[in-house]
Amino acid sequence: MAKVKRGNVLKNRHKKILRYARGFRGSNSKLFISANQTLMKAWRNAFRDRRKRKRDFRRLWIARINAACRSHGMVYSKLINGLTKANIEVNRKMLSEMAIHDKAAFAKLVEIAKDTVEKAAAAK
């Protein structure tokens, strides 16, 4: 059986991992084993947090909309219910931006939602 030498392959793989780990603190950027472990953890966190970011932003938008609704004497769930019944399709990001930057348009949407909810309650 011929002798297999894999010095170049191993060295290149280690160099690649250490290149990815550049900027980590201490031995996490210098030693292969600790750099590899730190990288695997960093990539796992990045993968998870790319999905978590979407949830966090949605929670932020809903909190902003709720705060703006309460200043108009309405709660978030009733606003969304009223807009849905009025066939107004505005996503939460846009509602949040309107609540911050265009208060008049947001107030108009709140009024429409109030009227729709009141009409639905009167119909019952």
pLDDT (tens digit per residue) in 15-55: 999 999 999 999 999 999 999 999 999 999 999 999 999 99
Q: What is the pTM of this model?
A: 0.81
Hunting for tokens 């939460």 — which residue is that?
Answer: 92
pLDDT at res. 124: 76
pLDDT (tens digit per residue) in 56-82: 999 999 999 999 999 999 999 999 999
Hunting for tokens 């709140």 — which residue is that?
Answer: 110
Number of domains in the chain: 1
Query: What would the mean pLDDT of 81-87 be, rounded to a whole number?
Result: 95
Of 67, 85, 78, the C-alpha closest to 110 is 78
Q: Is residue 1 part of a domain?
A: no
* CATH number of the domain bearing residue 89: 1.10.1900.20
Q: Is residue 4 part of a domain?
A: no
Phi, psi (deg, nearest 5) at residue 73: 80, 35
Of 32, 102, 29, 99, the C-alpha closest to 61 is 99
